Every structure is written in structure tokens, then in C-alpha cells.
Structure 1
Amino acid sequence: MSVNTYRFNGRSNLSPPELFMYIALDQTKQQLGFADLAAAATWLLSDNDVPVSGKMKTASEGTSVMSLFLRNVIKKKTSIRLPTLTWKSFSAKGVKIIYTRSLGAFIGRTIPVVDVVFLGYDAAMIVYRSVFRYNGIVKPEDRILG
């Protein structure tokens, strides 16, 4: 462990791990905004936590608030079957491709996928910018990845 100490945003005597934590928090604050809040909210609304009777045994249990809403608002049926991704309780283990002709169901199942990509991009940018900024501040022996 390095004995070097650093200053950041008015804090002094920071060890390299402490400095990285404060930089990462600062980058998170700069990166996240209203769009991220909306993505997180719609992602949470897409959880299959509303019980539904009459589904086949092979279907995922329950439905989401978003799916119920969009199926009622957008009642259009398409002439082709549209592919959608579904997963059980936000687990990558239970991901399935399901086809639907309901435009409301298609949109309701696509929004959470876009949300995950959007939030994943933000997470990657926060890490990248944190490492870049950290490496620009610290001495060579304290740098991450060279």
C-alpha cells in the first residue's frame, strides 16, 4: 500500500483508495441526471410483481405495472410477431425471447432493455472517467492499470 496522500475537493490526507472513492462519487454526481432517474423508475415499474391468473405454465409469473398500462393505452396489434426480451426478477439467468403482436406489450418489454443499456453506459462512463481523473492526479506508483 502506498504511503502517498492526496488532496481533493477540500479534503486532505487522503489515501489512494479514499481519493478514488471521492473521485468516483464526484463523477457519479456529474453523470447522473433526470434521464437516469426516469430510466431507473421505468426499470422498476417493469418488474413482474403484479399477480395475473390464466397464464400458461411456461409463461413468466405475473406481469408488470408498465405492461398493464401500455397494453391498455396502446391497443394496436401488428401483422408480424415482434421479438421481446423478458426476465424474471432482474436476473440474467431467466432471460427469454418472447414474441408478441401487441404493440403495447412490445413497447412495455423494450423500455426496460433500453433502460439497462442506458444505465450500463452511465456506469461504464463513471468508471472510465474516475480512473482517468484519478490517474491524472496520483503519482505513477499509485495509478490504476499502469
Structure 2
Amino acid sequence: MDTVEELNGTYFYAGKSNLTAAEMFFMVFCEKTIEQFGLGVADFGAVIGIVSGRNVLTTRTKPGGTILGTSYASKASRAVFKKAKFPFGMKLPTWLGGYTPWTVRKQMVRNIAPFVGRTIPLIGVLILANDVSQIVYRTISEYNAIARGNDKLW
């Protein structure tokens, strides 16, 4: 960020002049997004987790009502864990069908492989959700520190 000034009712931010409040908010948002994703390693892992969870591989015929295909994460976890089960007959929840509350459903499993294969993409989604929430918080905080009067968000 360069300097921040107010010029004739408009703003000067990051080397750009005559910015309206909305344009300045957008500039702050872009800057905070670059800062957040500039760190890289966790974000790259999140994207890999999400992409590896897409059910793009063909698989055996499944019973009616199931989701077609399987994911790279599921195939890899089944290769590593094979038929291993959790101790003491314990069941843990996995999520099927998507990552939105409207398309997802919970299924309890005893095998380690499907738990790991279905949890990897979910962790990726949670990391990216954390990134988005941090970007929004930092954008609003910086924007409100710069903006004047009625231009502030709240």
C-alpha cells in the first residue's frame, strides 16, 4: 500500500487517484486477497485436497441412489489402508455428495480408507473457507480505517 489520502471527496489509494468508496473497497479487497494467497503452501494443499476429492474416476457398478464415480483421494486411501477398520468397532462420520449443506449427506463408516478419502477434500474446503473469512475481515477492517463518515461499512 502506498499512501492514503482524501482528494476532493474521492480517495487516493495504492497509487490510484479519484477513487470512489466502492473502487477503494475493491482495491483493498484485491490487495488483501493477494496477501492471503501469497503465503501459498496451505492454499496449494487446500486446492489439491479439493481437486483430489472430485469423483471423476470410473468405478464398479454401484447400487441405485449412489453417486457415480470415485475420487483420486478415495482410490489412494483405499490403496494405502485397504480393508483396515477403526478399533473397537468405532464408526466415524464422512460426508457424501458435495460440500454445501443442501447437497451433502452424512454416512457413518467403520473402515479407515473411506473416512480418509472423504475427509481430505473436506479439509481443503475448510482451509479455503478460513482464507475467505480472513480476507473479508481484513478488507473491512482496513477499509473502515481509511473511509470517512457514511462511506464506512458499519
TM-score range, shorter chain: 0.7 to 0.9
Which residue among 53, 74, 96 is the counterpart of 1:67? 74
Q: How many angstroms does 1:27 deviate by?
A: 0.6
Determine helix, strand or coil for the equivalent of 2:90: strand
Which residue among 22, 26, 46 is the counterpart of 2:27? 22
Which residue among 85, 102, 105 is the counterpart of 1:93? 102
Q: Which residue of 2 aligns with 1:45?
A: 52
- For the pair 1:137 / 2:142, whether they are aligned, the reply is no
| Overall identity of the aligned pairs, in % | 32
User: Whole-Å Cα distance in 1 between the matches of residues 24 and 128 of structure 2?
Assistant: 24
User: Whole-Å Cα distance in 1 between the matches of residues 111 and 19 of structure 2?
Assistant: 56
User: Whole-Å Cα distance in 1 between the matches of residues 134 and 85 of structure 2?
Assistant: 38
TM-score by length of structure 1 reads 0.88
Which residue among 95, 100, 112 is the counterpart of 1:103? 112
- Where structure 1 has 5 or more consecutive residues not aligned to the other structure, the ranges are none
- Could you list the per-position Cα deviations for residues 76-123 of structure 1 after superposition, in whole angstroms to 9, with x for gaps in the alignment? 2223332111124x5542211122222121111112222222211111
CA contact (8 A) 1:48 1:62 kept: yes
- Could you list the per-position Cα deviations for residues 8-62 of structure 1 after superposition, in whole angstroms to 9, with x for gaps in the alignment? 1111111111111110111111112221121012111101122222211132211
For this pair of structures, how many residues does the alignment match?
A: 142
Q: Which moved more, 1:135-144 or 1:70-79?
A: 70-79
TM-score by length of structure 2 reads 0.83
Q: Which moved more, 1:109-118 or 1:19-28?
A: 109-118
- For the pair 1:34 / 2:41, whether they are aligned, the reply is yes
How much is the aligned-residue C-alpha RMSD, in angstroms?
Answer: 1.7
Determine helix, strand or coil for the equivalent of 2:110: strand
User: Whole-Å Cα distance in 1 between the matches of residues 110 and 43 of structure 2?
Assistant: 29
